[in-house]
């Protein structure tokens, strides 16, 4: 771990889950049983993944979340704390299990994921109220859609900094929060659900414009090995930032690596052009898919922020 950056806090409101991951030659068809090659248990959940990605890059991170009163809840808090994450607002929920994710990963890096929310469903407005000053003054407030929507909306209404929403897992009923989003970050399927058509590079400019009209300041659509595109209200150009293509080992959690890195780099130098921040976040996500696992694949103390990234205006 590198020392904490002397900066405002990155507060993550979101999920903690334990990942039970099987590796197999390919993903099974419905009703099919396959022999896997390896099994591993690790720490996950989109919220905690993003928090850990930020912490490993030196972000000053706090996790607001709920874990169960089982063995996994206690171990999860200890794990986050060991990585430098402030867990004073990670609460143990009585008589509820910690969230879990069942993940299958194919040899080509593709994955299938089933989640059981458990204690994540108990993250409430009262948890936001307990951390009211922290939420209000966070330099970046990150949230996702694996915890109750009304809790996230309450937090976004409070925060006076950068509100970064990763609208995943995909859902359609999020329009109420979009006017409070400084940055909305989605992948192609998530963007497609919001705009009502299949988002691809030829029509991505139309998709960005349509989402911006719903009230966000900036929208970023991640494109996997094709990088990311973004557009903003104040700068309506559609910018495509490229990234290196690699042979992936495990794509699980790559989007979370991107979000956590994005938050950290936004805090590190607020004068950097956005294409550089997005490019650096893409680099961290790319590095993560070259290793197995989620949080274990996220790089520490990486120099990606100092590199130059190619981009075009579409």
As annotated, the active-site residues are 256
Task: Consult the annotation and say whether 237 binds a ligand.
Answer: no
Task: Consult the annotation and say whether 9 binds a ligand.
Answer: no
Task: Consult the annotation and say whether 46 binds a ligand.
Answer: yes
Task: Consult the annotation and say whether 47 binds a ligand.
Answer: yes
Q: Name the β-bridge partners of 23.
A: 38, 105
- The torsion angles phi and psi of 134, rounded to 5 degrees, stand at -60, -45
Nearest to 188 by CA among 199, 175, 172: 199
Task: Consult the annotation and say whether 255 binds a ligand.
Answer: yes
Task: Consult the annotation and say whether 120 binds a ligand.
Answer: no
> In sequence order, which residues have a C-beta less than 8 Å from that of residue 85 and are 6 or more positions away?
51, 52, 55, 61, 62, 63
Number of residues in the chain: 314
Task: Consult the annotation and say whether 224 binds a ligand.
Answer: yes
* Residue 13 and residue 107 in contact, taking contact as beta carbons nearer than 8 Å: no
Token pair for 68: 């169960």
Task: Consult the annotation and say whether 139 binds a ligand.
Answer: no
Task: Consult the annotation and say whether 271 binds a ligand.
Answer: no
Task: Consult the annotation and say whether 81 binds a ligand.
Answer: no
> In sequence order, which residues have a C-beta less than 8 Å from that of residue 186 and are 6 or more positions away?
166, 167, 168, 170, 194, 219, 220, 221, 222
Task: Consult the annotation and say whether 187 binds a ligand.
Answer: yes
Can you say whether the dihedral through the CA atoms of 52, 244, 230, 303 is positive or negative? positive
Task: Consult the annotation and say whether 250 binds a ligand.
Answer: yes
Task: Consult the annotation and say whether 226 binds a ligand.
Answer: yes
Task: Consult the annotation and say whether 49 binds a ligand.
Answer: yes
Residue stretches of the annotated binding site: 17-19, 45-49, 146, 187, 222-227, 250, 252, 255-256, 288, 291, 293, 297
Residue stretches of the annotated binding site for K(+): 250, 252, 288, 291, 293, 297
Residue stretches of the annotated binding site for substrate: 17-19, 45-49, 146, 256
Residue stretches of the annotated binding site for ATP: 187, 222-227, 255-256
């Amino acid at each position: 771990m590198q020392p904490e950056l002397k900066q405002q806090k990155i507060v993550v409101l979101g999920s903690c889950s334990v990942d039970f991951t099987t590796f197999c030659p390919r993903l099974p068809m419905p009703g099919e049983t396959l022999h896997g090659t390896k099994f591993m248990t690790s720490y996950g959940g989109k919220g905690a993944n993003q928090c850990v990605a930020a912490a490993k890059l030196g972000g000053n991170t706090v996790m607001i979340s709920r874990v169960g009163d089982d063995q996994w809840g206690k171990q999860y808090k200890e794990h986050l704390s060991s990585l430098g994450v402030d867990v004073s607002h990670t609460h143990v929920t009585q008589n509820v299990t910690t969230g879990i994710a069942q993940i299958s990963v194919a040899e080509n890096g593709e994955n299938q994921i089933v989640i059981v929310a458990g204690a994540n469903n108990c993250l409430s407005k009262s948890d936001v109220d307990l951390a009211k000053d922290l939420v209000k003054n966070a330099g970046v407030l990150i949230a996702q859609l694996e915890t109750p929507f009304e809790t996230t909306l309450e937090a976004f209404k409070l925060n006076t900094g950068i509100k970064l929403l990763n609208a995943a897992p995909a859902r359609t009923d999020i329009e109420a929060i979009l006017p409070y989003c400084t940055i909305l970050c989605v992948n192609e399927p998530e963007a497609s659900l919001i705009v009502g058509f299949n988002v691809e590079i030829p029509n991505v400019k139309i998709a960005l414009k349509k989402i911006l009209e719903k009230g966000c300041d900036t929208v970023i659509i991640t494109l996997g090995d094709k990088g990311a595109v973004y557009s903003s209200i104040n700068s309506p150009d559609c910018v495509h930032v490229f990234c290196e293509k690699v042979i992936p080992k495990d794509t699980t959690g790559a989007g979370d690596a991107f979000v956590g890195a994005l938050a950290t780099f936004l805090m590190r130098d607020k004068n950097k052009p956005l294409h550089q921040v997005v490019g650096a976040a893409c680099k961290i996500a790319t590095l993560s898919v070259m290793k197995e696992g989620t949080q274990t694949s996220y790089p520490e103390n990486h120099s990606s922020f100092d590199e130059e990234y190619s981009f075009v205006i579409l």
